[in-house]
Chain A
Amino acid sequence: MFRIVKKERLNPLVYRMEVEAPMVAAAARPGQFLIVRTEEKGERVPLTISDYDPDRGTVTIVTQEIGASTEDICSFEEGQSFADVAGPLGMPSDFVGMSDGKLSGRRYVFIAGGVGTAPVYPQVKWLHSKGVAVDVIVGAKTSSMLIYKEEMSRYCDNLYICTDDGSEGFHGMVTGMLENLVQEQGKRYTQAVAIGPMIMMKFATLTARKLGLPIIVSLNTLMVDGTGMCGACRVTVGGKTRFACVEGPEFDGYEVDFDEAMRRQSMYRQEEKEAEPHVCKIDIRTKNQVK
């Protein structure tokens, strides 16, 4: 059993849980995900790893209540246990395999949206530990929905906040902020990484392309097993069908067919209608997601 050692509410819909899973914690790297199953009748829900501590033997997940299964996860309290936590799954981020020599001189900008902000954190932490320059753009609908501000500012060089309603930081979308940084403020980056709702990653990719900036995105596709068995996660990347669970979840944004990915993500929307809360936001997606 996988005991929840700590649970915190980060905003009205988002919870952070630190869970005992020593084998996962020992093997995890930035960019990977895991699968949680709350109990016998629960779904296998893929969630991107938001932190891991091999010494404590724990992994951290950040979940937004957006459907029956994520509500189920969020309803678990400190001291309770999940039936299953399996992972780490997927490939670690590209930079994990890079030599210090290759990393030196690289400048990263992360574009994080909604609950997708959490999995950006271990990536920023890793790059910071290697002395790589990292800027982070975090976006949310409104100030009260922002997460990971303090955590992020501990490790990044510059943190840029954007809200759709202007209640905090830059008034506008993350893509607007990225354009502003590169075009107005003359910032130079070698690599962008976007993690958030599929629609945000699509537009971040369009902006990055316009700016001539390479961009990596982390795809939160539907999955059942997460080990390459079911093919529910298939996405078209560079004209070829790829399995996000074993070959991803991170891909070159320029190559991803986002429209197909978004359509496939909504496959079980009909079945889940009743369970979904009536808050229409771009970061409200299907319950089965990697974030």
Chain B
Amino acid sequence: MAERIPRVPAKEQDPKERATNFDEVCYGYDAREAVREASRCLHCRNPRCVASCPVNVKIPQFIACIAAGDFAGAAAVIAEDSSLPAICGRVCPQESQCEGSCILGVKGEPVAIGRLERFVADWNRENGAVKPVPAPSNGYKVAVIGSGPAGLACASDLARMGYEVTVFEALHKPGGVLEYGIPEFRLPKEKVVKPEIDAVCSLGVKIVTDVIAGRTVTVDSLLDKEGFSAVFIGSGAGLPRFMGIPGENLNGVFSANEFLTRNNLMKAYRDDYLTPVMHGRKVVVVGGGNVAMDAARTALRLGSETAIVYRRTETELPARREEVHHAKEEGVEFMMLTNPVEVLGDEKGWVRGIRCIRMELGEPDASGRRSPVPVPGSEFDIEADEVIMALGTSPNPLISRTTAGLETTRKGCIVADEDGATSRPGVFAGGDAVTGAATVILAMGAGRKAAAAIDRYIREQAR
């Protein structure tokens, strides 16, 4: 069957306007738009979208409900597999998952599954139709370390099975990267993140903030002294990388983590919050991932002239296409095939610029990407008073260093099998703590698998 109705576009805030505020960029569908978009789904007998969703949301079913105007029904279908739909509908890389495998995408445009999911979740939040119901306790306690996507997904599945789940969060607010990493303009905190976390709590999950695993408590103390039958580690990848080039400790050089945490978690962009943040005149962001886009677009909103430097070409940018597109629309300058070699400082130790070298693409490397090589003698200086390093993150070693018998890789990632089981019986792990920095939805998928494995483990132990 040929595609007849074109994909329904979602309204967005005007680029010029939104580059000066922190309000959400995309407005999402209204009911009429959602029903129209839902009517495009072909309801394939073998829905490839479901298989390419890390948590296997029953996509055609919920879309059928939307098309029939049964939004509560759609919410109920999604709730079976995802505890954070309003978040996933916004930040999942749908183009490489559900939408990427949609049959309609072969010749035309795939069904806007992400936007439909977001519509249902937002509608349900506003109308309170489908509410989480706590299951009766089975008497077993499970500890979850980290309240990011992996921890929340694991905790909600376990709570649904009747486990008494306590989530330990190091920061003062639950959410992990949803709270400190992803900016307000992509993922509103009070409107979207908080209600979804509240929903997880209403399943009976207890979240305790200000507890740093590896410092305040240890995995061993949770298992041996606190009576938890199993522990899930979903502590993410919070340790920022730097380049190791001269001048990186000059005043005005920040990790993207610091810059974003100050803005997102600590709300430094608001005058009524005490945490300060630098408002540079000219900001250079180093890196090409989603975090680099978030940092650049945040700097722009703080009033800085902002450029991104990346050592490969635009085709290789690891960021979502939509993020790159949004950043460009808003006025972020992109300097490709450019790699910093030194941060330049003034006599007082503040950043005055960044020295870069031009790159060209050489032979493909092991990952299949053509690796960039420097063009000799092509160094040039860019003027800047603030440099933000968005080069990726690795897992925080606080837990692995304080847990006996927990195997890690050379890169500091916790070694875990498909189901999240680590080298230590009763200790499971998933998300960025295992894979290194990845996506919200992959972390959620890992959290769900681990929840199932924890259930099997505890049943076996009980026998």
Question: Which A residues are closer than 8 A to B by beta carbons?
Answer: 23-24, 27, 37, 41-44, 68-69, 72, 83-89, 224-225, 227-232, 234-236, 241, 246, 260, 263-264, 266-268, 271-272
Q: Of the 9-residue stretches B120-128, B258-266, B326-334, which lies at the interface with chain A?
A: B258-266
CB-based contact B249/A234 at 8 Å: yes
Residues in B whose Cβ lies below 8 Å from that of A230: 240, 255, 257-258, 261-262
Which chain B residues have a beta carbon within 8 Å of chain A's beta carbons?
A: 170-172, 180, 209-212, 215-217, 238-240, 242, 248-249, 251-252, 254-255, 257-258, 261-262, 266-267, 272-276, 278, 348-349, 396-398
B398 touches A229 (CB 8 A): no
Q: Which residues of chain B come closer than 8 Å to A260, judged between CB atoms?
A: 249, 349
Contact A227 B396 (CB under 8 A): yes
Given A43-B275, A84-B172, A241-B242, the answer on whether A224 and B216 have CB atoms closer than 8 Å is no
CA distance A228 to B393 in the complex (A): 11
Residue contact B258 to A232, C-beta cutoff 8 Å = yes
Does A227 lie within 8 Å of B172, measured CB to CB? no
CA distance A109 to B238 in the complex (A): 37
**Residues of chain A lying within 8 A (CB to CB) of residue B257:** 229-231
Partner of A228, one of B272, B278, B348, B396: B396
| Sampled A-B contacts (12; CB under 8 Å) | A44-B172, A84-B172, A86-B171, A224-B261, A225-B180, A227-B396, A229-B396, A230-B261, A231-B254, A246-B398, A263-B251, A267-B251
Q: Which residue of A lies closest to B345 (CB)?
A: A263
Q: Are B266 and A224 in contact (CB under 8 A)?
A: yes
CA distance A62 to B252 in the complex (A): 30
A37 to B266 Cα, complex, angstroms: 11
CA A264 to CA B258, docked complex, whole Å: 14
Q: Complex: how many Å from CA A282 to CA B144?
A: 45
Q: Which applies to chain A's interface (DSSP): helix, strand, loop or mixed? A: mixed
Chain A residues whose CB sits within 8 angstroms of the CB of B209 once the complex forms: 84, 86
Alpha-carbon distance between A224 and B397 when the two chains are bound, in angstroms: 18
Task: Report Cα–Cα, A228/B251, bound state, in Å.
Answer: 19
Given contacts A84-B209, A231-B257, contact A27 B216 (CB under 8 A): yes
Q: Are the C-beta atoms of B274 and A228 separated by less than 8 Å?
A: no
User: Does B249 lie within 8 Å of A225, measured CB to CB?
Assistant: no
B212 and A227 within 8 A (CB): yes
Which residues from A are CB-within-8-Å of B238? 225, 227-229
Distance between A223 CB and nearest chain B CB, rounded to angstroms: 10
| A27/B215 contact (C-beta < 8 A), A224-B258, A230-B258 known | yes
Q: Establish whether residues A23 and B172, one from each chain, have CB atoms under 8 Å apart when the complex forms.
A: no
Q: Are B217 and A27 in contact (CB under 8 A)?
A: yes
Chain A residue nearest to B258 (CB atoms) is A230
In Å, the complex CA distance between A235 and B249 comes to 8
Task: Report whether A83 and B172 are in contact in the complex, using a CB–CB cutoff of 8 Å.
Answer: yes
A22 CB to closest chain B CB (Å) equals 10
- A87 contacts B216, C-beta separation under 8 Å: yes
Those 3 A-B pairs whose CB atoms lie nearest each other, nearest first: A230-B258, A86-B210, A271-B276
The residue from A44, A227, A231, A271 contacting B242, defined by CB atoms under 8 A apart: A231
> Do B216 and A227 have beta carbons less than 8 Å apart?
no
Q: Write out the residue numbers on chain A whose beta carbons fall within 8 Å of the beta carbon of B255.
A: 230-231
CB distance from B242 to the nearest CB of A (A): 7
Residues on the A chain within 8 Å of B266, using CB: 43-44, 224
Q: Which residues of B contact A227 (CB under 8 A)?
A: 170-171, 212, 215, 238, 396, 398
The residue that B212 contacts in the complex, of A43, A87, A268, A271, with Cβ under 8 A, is: A87
Contact between chains at A225 and B170 (CB < 8 Å): yes
Complex Cα distance, B343 from A241, in Å, reads 15
Q: A27-B216, A88-B215 are in contact. Are A228 and B171 (CB under 8 A)?
A: no
CB of A85 within 8 A of CB of B261, answer no
Which one of B172, B242, B398 lies within 8 Å of A86 (CB-CB)? B172
* Distance in angstroms between the alpha carbons of A272 and B277 in the assembled complex: 11
